[in-house]
A and B are shown apart, each in its own frame.
Chain A
Amino acid sequence: MAERVFAGKLQRAGFADVWVGGHQPFGIDQAALYPLFTPEVIQVMRETIQADHQDHVATGVIVKARRPQ
């Protein structure tokens, strides 16, 4: 899910003051530390994602919002 899609879903749910920050790159080597990514899918990622993008496949973010009064 893209960041703007995430923010849009929050707004459509009724949330206000949507804030996205704390951006951190998330790469294949980091994904490999999570048991939910199988070795097979990690291998597929290494084979199909361009080498210069492999250290930033996704972005870790913090998303904050408020339910209006």
Chain B
Amino acid sequence: MARDLMFQQEIKDTVQRAYGAITGGAGETVARRHYSDQELAEVPAGAVEWALGVGNPVRYARLQPGQAVLDVGSGGGIDTILAARRIGPEGRAIGLDVLEEMCERGRRHAAQAGVEGWIEFRRGEMEDIPLPDASVDVAISNGVLNLSARKSRALAEIFRVLAPGGRICMADLTVEGELPPEVANDQSAWAG
């Protein structure tokens, strides 16, 4: 048990260190795989440059004006900003990220996008979301759950903050079978 907790902390530290050290996202090349020209035109260039996701959860989330949306692991804010545009000023978009510098990037990009009036970025962990019970209508995330060493705990937290009838829409990577141990045991692979 103590060893498991140490391992979880090691993964958490590795992921935070890796994300804190990067100087940019995956960039426009990757963003163009996941987002349409129209969607990319809706967000500032900085948010595109800082995109680190593996899909486009907003496209599948069927967001409606006035909804409250939580983006778990919001990074530079590309999905939070797209969500804010879908829900409009009657709604509320909340980006959650464990790194304050990512939250600051999100705020800057949201201001550039002109959606700062109904978007906010909070520092916090997906395993301990700083929101009340049943306070959001939709939770999205993009390539984030796999970074958690406590995935069940993170999902339980998302369940808690969703209102009854609320929905989750996540983009992530799945792996069938085993990766070679040289890859699976590499700390960089955990963060990626």
Interface residues, chain A, CB within 8 Å of chain B?
1-3, 6, 9-10, 12-15, 22, 24, 26, 30-31, 33-38, 40-41, 44-45, 47-49, 57-69
Determine how close the nearest CB of chain B comes to the CB of A68; give it in whole angstroms: 7
Interface residues, chain B, CB within 8 Å of chain A?
18-19, 22-27, 29-30, 33, 52, 54-57, 60-61, 145-146, 151-152, 155-156, 158-159, 162-176, 179-180, 182-183, 186, 188-189, 191-192
> Ordered nearest first, which 8 A-B pairs have the shortest CB separation?
A48-B180, A13-B155, A37-B192, A41-B188, A58-B173, A38-B188, A36-B192, A3-B174
Query: Can you give 22 A-B contacts (C-beta < 8 A)?
Result: A1-B175, A2-B175, A3-B176, A9-B151, A9-B155, A14-B156, A15-B155, A26-B173, A33-B30, A34-B52, A35-B25, A36-B52, A37-B188, A38-B188, A59-B173, A60-B55, A62-B55, A62-B57, A64-B170, A67-B166, A67-B167, A68-B165
Chain B residue, CB-CB nearest to A13: B155
The interface residues of chain B, by DSSP majority, are classed as: mixed
Candidates A3, A14, A26, A49; contact of B159 at CB < 8 Å? A14
